[in-house]
């Protein structure tokens, strides 16, 4: 399969318009590529080992997110209830109240420190439709550090999907049937290299997810050149039409293992106020509209449960378009 339409060019067959990306930005690679590549007609699949499954709480839960891991900016229930139920914390920017057919962002890549093996830190795009309680449809893509899932602290490219609010459907990457990969050069769940350094070189990845208006499938592109694959339309209920909300940002698990807030970092582990080279960013965030065109989001909101632990700060600038800095260290004197 190939997508019929692409939001950055009229049809998929057309040659790509020249990219506006900064010529100084260095290419992101994946560590496995140093050992060779996959031949045409095959795809790279990260090997699942026995230990990977043994780290999961059960075989059924392997490769799945826990419920309530999508930030709900205007929760139906009071916030403390949501926090105690899930222990997930977020720092996001979002748009809602329209019909969205995709989203794009360039995401700064770091290696946040994780306090407990059962915690994670991720930075991603959420494409959402349905009600947050029972039947939420979600398509997600970004980077994550998850010792429980991968057995190490490497920063890895990932995808996720669910059609019932993380209850029975969906999984990370290719750990269940759902996402169909067509690309032989990029592996889901594989380590990303190089990573950004505080006060030094910065690296980022671009992710675009869009709905093919003809077939109804949701496609994902990594960087400027790699169309990775698609989520088939029949996986979803609400997303067969369009998304009603797009979110960009970070998420961590706060298990409060020692009765204090986790010191698991989000983004770079530094607050947005520190700015470029120190705080992590999303830049050129865009949505795909009903005409299958990319445009800047209107009425961008922000949300975080505890801004003394992790925060978010939006802005607009020429080359960066609509952007935001986000993240934080977790536990600190103002976040006990």
Helix extents (H) in the chain: 50-55, 79-86, 147-150
Q: What is the pLDDT of residues 84-137, one digit of tens each?
A: 346 899 999 999 999 999 999 999 999 999 999 999 999 999 999 998 878 999
Separation of alpha carbons 159 and 145, rounded Å: 13
The enclosing domain of 213 has a CATH number of 2.60.120.200
> Which residue out of 8, 40, 140, 274 is catalytically annotated?
140
Q: Is residue 103 part of a domain?
A: yes
Separation of alpha carbons 107 and 206, rounded Å: 6
Q: Is 140 a catalytic residue?
A: yes
**What pLDDT is attached to residue 65?**
86
Q: Is residue 182 part of a domain?
A: yes
Q: Is residue 186 part of a domain?
A: yes
Q: What is the pLDDT of residues 17-64, one digit of tens each?
A: 323 334 345 667 899 999 889 999 999 999 999 999 999 888 888 999
Q: Is residue 332 part of a domain?
A: no
**Residue 98's closest CA among 326, 312, 283, 296?**
296
Q: Is residue 58 part of a domain?
A: yes
Q: Is 14 a catalytic residue?
A: no
- Cα distances from 300 to residues 24, 57, 99, 214, 292, in angstroms, run 29, 37, 15, 29, 20
Q: What is the pLDDT of residues 138-180, one digit of tens each?
A: 999 999 999 999 999 999 999 999 999 999 999 999 999 999 9
Q: Is residue 36 part of a domain?
A: no
DSSP summary character for residue 178 = S
pLDDT at 228 over 90: yes
**What pLDDT is attached to residue 134?**
83
Q: Is residue 322 part of a domain?
A: yes
> Which residue out of 251, 256, 274, 305 is catalytically annotated?
251
In DSSP terms, 282 is beta-bridged to 107, 324
Q: Is residue 19 part of a domain?
A: no
Instruction: Report the mean per-residue pLDDT for the chain.
Output: 90
Q: Which domain, by its residues, includes 179? A: 49-70+82-327
Separation of alpha carbons 255 and 72, rounded Å: 19
pLDDT tier for residue 12 given thresholds of 50, 70 and 90: low
Domains identified in the chain, total number: 1
């Amino acid at each position: 399969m190939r997508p019929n339409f692409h939001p950055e060019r009229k049809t998929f067959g057309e040659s790509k318009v020249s990219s506006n990306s900064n010529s100084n930005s260095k290419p992101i690679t994946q560590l496995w590529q140093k050992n060779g590549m996959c031949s045409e007609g095959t795809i790279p699949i990260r090997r699942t080992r026995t230990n990977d499954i043994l780290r999961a709480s059960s075989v059924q839960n392997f490769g799945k997110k826990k419920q309530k891991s999508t930030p709900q900016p205007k929760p139906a229930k009071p916030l403390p209830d949501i926090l105690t139920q899930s222990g997930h914390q977020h720092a996001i920017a979002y748009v809602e109240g329209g019909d969205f057919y995709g989203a794009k962002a360039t995401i700064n890549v770091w290696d946040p420190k994780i306090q407990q093996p059962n915690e994670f830190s991720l930075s991603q795009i959420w494409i959402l439709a349905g009600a947050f309680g029972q039947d939420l449809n979600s398509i997600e893509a970004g980077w994550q550090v998850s010792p429980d899932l991968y057995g190490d602290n490497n920063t890895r490219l990932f995808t996720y999907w669910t059609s019932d609010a993380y209850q029975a459907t969906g999984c990370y990457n290719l750990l269940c049937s759902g996402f169909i990969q067509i690309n032989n050069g990029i592996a889901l769940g594989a380590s990303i290299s190089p990573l950004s350094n505080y006060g030094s070189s910065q690296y980022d990845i671009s992710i675009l997810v869009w709905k093919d208006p003809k077939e109804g499938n949701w496609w994902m592109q990594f960087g400027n050149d790699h169309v990775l694959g698609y989520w088939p339309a029949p996986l979803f209920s609400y997303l067969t039409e369009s998304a009603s909300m797009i979110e960009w940002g970070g998420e961590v698990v706060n298990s409060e293992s020692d009765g204090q807030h986790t010191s698991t970092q989000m983004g770079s582990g530094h607050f947005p106020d520190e700015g470029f080279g120190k705080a992590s960013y999303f830049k050129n965030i865009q949505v795909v509209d009903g005409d299958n065109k990319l445009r800047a989001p209107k009425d961008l909101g922000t949300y975080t449960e505890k801004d003394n632990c992790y925060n978010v700060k939006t802005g607009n600038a020429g080359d960066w378009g609509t952007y935001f800095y986000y993240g934080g260290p977790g536990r600190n004197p103002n976040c006990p």
